[in-house]
Copies of this chain bind each other. A is one copy, B any other.
Amino acid sequence: MRDAWQNLILPDLMQMVQEDDVQGLAAFCGVVHPASVAEILEELEDPQVWRILDQADDQLRVEIFEFLSLKRQTELAESLDEKRLSHLLEWMSADDRVDLLSRIPEGRRENALRLIAQAERNEIRRMLSYDEDSAGAVMTSDYASLPASITVLDALARLRQQAPDSESIYYVYILGENRHLEGVISLRQLILARPETRLSEIMKRDPIRVRVTEPRVVAAEMLGRYNFIAVPIVDDSDRLVGIVTHDDALDVVQEEATEDAYLQSAMAPLEDTYQESPLFEILWKRGVWLLFLSFVALMNAHVIDHYRGTADSPQATQVGTGLSSLILLFLPLVMASGGNAGSQSATLFIRMFALRPSAGRGSSNLVNDLPLVARELLIGLCLGSALAFLDFTVAWLWFGRSMYESSVIAATVVMVVTLGTSAGSLLPLLFRRLGMDPAIMSNPLIAAMIDVLGVILFYEIGLLVLT
């Protein structure tokens, strides 16, 4: 998912790493935006990444590091000894640090924390204790704060001291005794006010705040509703404990949209992005749901079987021996399996595109994404086989169908599920390639197409095996 210019820069960078060109690497880190450096580092080997990052000073190194994906951060942190890890942690911002630590095994985490100063360690432990869906889990404690009694002139002087440690100085929180939140002043207000004005005269009292235990989506909602750059987070005694900033809100909204899309297509949310997730995790999080939905569909076959026995005329029950009878019972199952697996694939691809709209519009990126389509094909085969095994067993042992008939069902399910995952991944890709919204390849449309293919396959395989 690299942009074109990154592919241009990569050979030069690798040459600098091989030649140990310290000055060249330092210049690279200093000139390119940290987020862009991080994107290039994302796909290099651990030792190469550290070779490059070591040429940046502590602050810049951490800034680049924090722009890496959480998965890559975790891998890199594992390649460090405890002393270097704790040094890195000391420099990291409070919110990113907690995200990283929550991914590190507890033993190693404790060893690294032991090397960090007591006060900061307590702070980290407190942040680690918040529920991962709460405002506390996305907030940072690196905010700017001042007392109400000082003047604007003093405030600006003090802000200059706080600025390096604050994630945002555009909102300054006014705290009373015990860090009690009394008001807020924007840097804009400070710049516009007369220097001798006291903060208490111009501060906005009783600002909108979010409780640390409230869901993180509520913090994001407040930022969106009031167009804030940051929203203050308070504990039960109304003491300021952190802020959630605009960039966190954007991450939260994207993550929640992805989670909802996954859940709605019957998948458990993934830990990392789809591209980064290991095959086994994807199989597991999709397979469990598909198996469950197959059970519901098998119940359906049972209901049809029941009615078929009582509803039809004596002659018509002859259908019991024909292929159509088999299909009547198990077609809903076949259709649901193929449609659901296809929906999962389509949702994964469409969310992947939604998270990186700037990438993959050119033709070269079609090729870049083809390995993912191939992986979907493999996933389809695995999931299809698992479902086929279930369906074969149930059809044979529970419904008393012959082994031949049960094999027809199993073979159809494998093929339909594989077709579903292939179509679900390939069609959004092609639509995007054509400059159209990939989401038009909606789940019901893919399901409808798989339905038709399912009927044809079911009959053709049935005719082949049973006659």
Which residues of A come within 8 Å of B, CB atoms?
33, 35, 156, 159-160, 163, 169-170, 187-188, 191-192, 208, 215, 217-218, 220-227, 229, 246-247, 249-251, 253-254, 256-257, 259-261, 263-266, 289, 293, 296-297, 299-300, 303-304, 307-308, 311-313, 315-319, 321-325, 327-328, 331-332, 335-336, 339-340, 343, 346-347, 350-351, 354, 356-358, 437, 439-440, 442-445, 447-449, 451-452, 455-456, 459, 462-463, 467
B452 near A299 with CB under 8 A, answer yes
Complex interface: chain B residues within 8 A of A451 (CB)? 296-297, 300, 332, 336
Contacts of A452 in B (CB 8 A): 296, 299-300, 303
| Contact status of A354 and B256, CB under 8 A, knowing A224-B247, A266-B445, A336-B447 | yes
Contact at B442–A263, with CB atoms within 8 Å? yes
B253/A343 in contact, CB under 8 A = no
Q: How many copies does the complex hold?
A: 2
**Smallest CB gap from A335: residue in B:** B332
Which residue in chain B gives the minimum CB-CB distance to A299? B452
CB distance from A131 to the nearest CB of B (A): 13
Shortest distance in angstroms between A314's beta carbon and chain B's nearest beta carbon? 10
- A sample of 19 cross-chain residue pairs with beta-carbon separation below 8 angstroms, ordered by A number, consists of A33-B226, A169-B188, A169-B191, A170-B229, A218-B358, A224-B254, A250-B250, A256-B354, A259-B437, A260-B350, A261-B264, A264-B443, A296-B449, A297-B451, A300-B452, A304-B327, A316-B318, A324-B328, A331-B331
**Are A217 and B357 touching (Cβ within 8 A)?**
yes
A437 touches B304 (CB 8 A): no
The A contact surface, by secondary structure, is helix
- A303 and chain B: residue at smallest CB distance: B455
